[in-house]
Amino acid sequence: MSHLSPAAFLVWAILSSLLGVFLVWHLWSFDRFKCLRWSQGSQGSFKRVMTYSYLLSVPLIWTYSVGFAIIKYSEGFMVLPGFGVIPVPHQLWKQAHQNAILPLYLAVAFAWALEMVTHLEELCFWLFVVNAGSAQRDWFRSLYFKTWLVGSVVAILYVPLVTIFTRSDPLKCEAYTFLAGSLGSLSLTLWFIPVLHLFGPFLRSLRKEGVDMTTIVRLTKFHELNTIRVVFRLLFSLPIIILAVDGVRPHQHVNDSLIGTDLLAMVAGFGVVLSSGLTLVIFFPRSIEGEISRNTSRNRGFFSSKNHLTFVSQEQELYGTYDVRDTEDPDKEPPPSSIYEESIAVAPSTAWRQEAQPPSADSQYPPPPPLPKVTTPQSAAPERPLTIRLEPNRRVPEPDIELRPQQAVPKLTADNLAKHNSRAKKVAHFVQNFKSPIDFRRSR
């Protein structure tokens, strides 16, 4: 705190602000903030708890970093004989700044506790996914869910309690708060490494069992994101635990060095912000295909009678009979010359329609009226390409399916039949349906 330079807290403030901007943009692109509604129908209580626990940790980290950045730059530096220029110690701060120390420590303590709740849920969830079989399909009745429930209560209580019990000495309070939080984060990160090791064989087993490719791609994406996030979580927890362990010792070595404390604090800031951003992407995975489909359906009403799409048939493109005047306003009365051209313009590929056989008796559509035959001199060549207007090409009703000849149905090979029969024995049913580690609903 007092031994850190203002630049270190400024880096934390900038990074946490960027995380907040990314959070708002991602949730808006995800579903226009619908996931934040408390009364969302398809969202269960578990997903609401996980959503709000993660979203609350981001503004708490921002409050801690921005608050101390403002205080540190307001207090500035001082010259201490024997040590040189150092940041002003907290004993010499203004009374208002001293009163803000404990609330800011409580903010980072609760943020740390909520972050451990999030990471513990993911650890238990991925263990459940890797070890679950076809008979085990309910996450809420599993041992992993109960472990997360107990661990979350412990995390919510012990980190803020450590801050409250050591509040008499700000330096001691900071050291023990960061030690408690970093130990919890480091233990969860180390426990996550075996899960990453087991996830590769798990994906290969899913391919052998014939799971659809969409599920394989989704799980592979989650596996890669979790691997990258573990690296950033180590970059966050290891520097903090070094500073915390050095802070609780009688003689400090790392904390007495300004470059050491600033370097470790800045690396930890990058680690916590980037890992939190990856957690957001994992919890709320965007579907670009779905977003494009929603935007396309939303913009369908854009085309009016004056702004409509024009479809060119293959005959028009092949024989050059497409005319821009066909895309004009249909309510506008066409010139007399165009009426004459419509009656005589017949593309060679559509000439068979005039000599078509009469429809059968069971046809439900009346035959189209024949085009008038107009004879023109052979030598007379049109001055410009002839035009035609598109007509609906209605499909003739097919005969009854019972009257069709029976076709031979291909039989499954022995390997495919074995995969089909063994698929339900090894693969859990929920694996092919889930989209996010928090998107689970209680089975009935």
How many of the other CB atoms lie within 10 Å of CB of 122?
A: 22
The yes-or-no verdict on residue 323 having pLDDT over 90 is no
Q: How many residues does the chain have?
A: 444
The yes-or-no verdict on residue 155 having pLDDT over 60 is yes
CA-CA-CA-CA torsion sign (314, 315, 320, 323): negative
| Window from 138-142, 182-186, 297-301 with minimum mean pLDDT | 297-301
- Contacts of residue 145, defined as CB under 8 A and 6 or more positions apart, other chains included, come to 124, 128, 139
What is the phi-psi region of residue 84: left when phi exceeds 0, alpha when psi lies from -120 to 50, beta otherwise? left
For domain 6-291, the CATH architecture is Up-down Bundle (1.20)
pLDDT score at 331? 52
Q: For residue 214, name the pLDDT band (cuts at 50, 70, 90).
A: confident
Comparing C-alpha atoms, which of 64, 151, 161, 169 is closest to residue 111? 64
pLDDT score at 350? 46
pLDDT score at 424? 46
Structure-token match 């079989």, residue found: 133
Query: What is the average pLDDT score of the chain?
Result: 77
Domain residue spans in the chain?
6-291
